[in-house]
Amino acid sequence: MDARGGRPVSGAVDGRPGYQVRVCAERPEVDAGTFTLRAPWGLDGLTDADTVIVPGTADPAAPLPPAVHDALNAAAANGTRIASICTGTFSLAAAGLLDGLRATTHWIAAGMLAAAHPDIDVDPDVLYVDNGQLLTSAGAATGLDLCLHLIRRDYGSAVAADAARLSVMPLEREGGQAQFIVQPYPSTPRGSALEPLLAWLQDNLARDLTLADIAARADMSTRTLIHRFREQAGTTPLQWLHRARVRQAQHLLETTTHSVERIGAQVGFGSPTAFRDRFKRTTGVSTQTYRRTFR
């Protein structure tokens, strides 16, 4: 854990350090997997800190050590600002500090966090959440977004912008976590009656398909088709189709130089506007931003 002690100093804008940083842990050395981290300060180093930053953990399901639980609760009771990076949110949750609050963590672990801590309003789409005293971030890189946000809170936008430039990153990134979540091809239930139909849909994404077209292909009424989809695929036929189209569009934006208009047509959207709207609703960013980020 990092304990950032001392109030921000007035000289932060003239090149002097804005924070005094301590690395604190329950033990003098922490096994971080590929390296060992030395912690010169024990958990008592959190006592007079103004900000405590809790790092991610390799095993979010691991029990929180009692000493860490008590140290975090004592810091919170003291009014200390506490922030977490990535799966560090699980430590705050295990300490009971996030009950009734909105929080985020890495999108891969968001479902686990929500299931383990139903009293927390887990938002898997944002880069970070600021509840005032308690802050959480999505992943390792979004820890930088969160830290820039903290600098802006402490020193203002100008100093935060300088820190962003030194870090060679934008002060604010467009979109949230949704753009980093690979939209999976909607699942095909093995051995179900829908399996041949879903394979046909996957092969015909470019076609202008209506619910009636899909029902005719399945040789059933639209009402029966919707019922079967909800029962076996957990969604509606058109929602399944939209998700498959967006996933294919992501692949084409990542791997080709085709225009957005051409890709929209290739995956079956009737107009570039409809494609852009659906893509942004699903991923949280525009097609151009997605391509710049991932190609």
Q: Is 86 part of the annotated catalytic residue set? A: yes
What token pair was written down for 211?
Answer: 């619910």
pLDDT at 190 over 90: no
Query: What single-letter DSSP state applies at residue 30?
Result: E
Residue of 186, 182, 190, 156 whose CA lies nearest to 171:
156
Compare 83 and 6 and report the one with higher pLDDT.
Answer: 83
pLDDT at 69 over 50: yes
pLDDT single digits (tens) 233-245: 778 898 889 888 9
pTM: 0.61
Compare 173 and 48 and report the one with higher pLDDT.
Answer: 48
Catalytic hit among 3, 25, 53, 86: 86
- pLDDT band for position 175 (50/70/90)? low
pLDDT of residue 295: 64
Least confident window among 39-48, 142-151, 231-240: 231-240
Residue of 246, 253, 287, 288 whose CA lies nearest to 267:
246
d(CA 192, CA 199): 12
Helices marked H in 156-268:
157-166, 195-203, 211-218, 222-232, 237-255, 260-266
Compare 89 and 163 and report the one with higher pLDDT.
Answer: 89
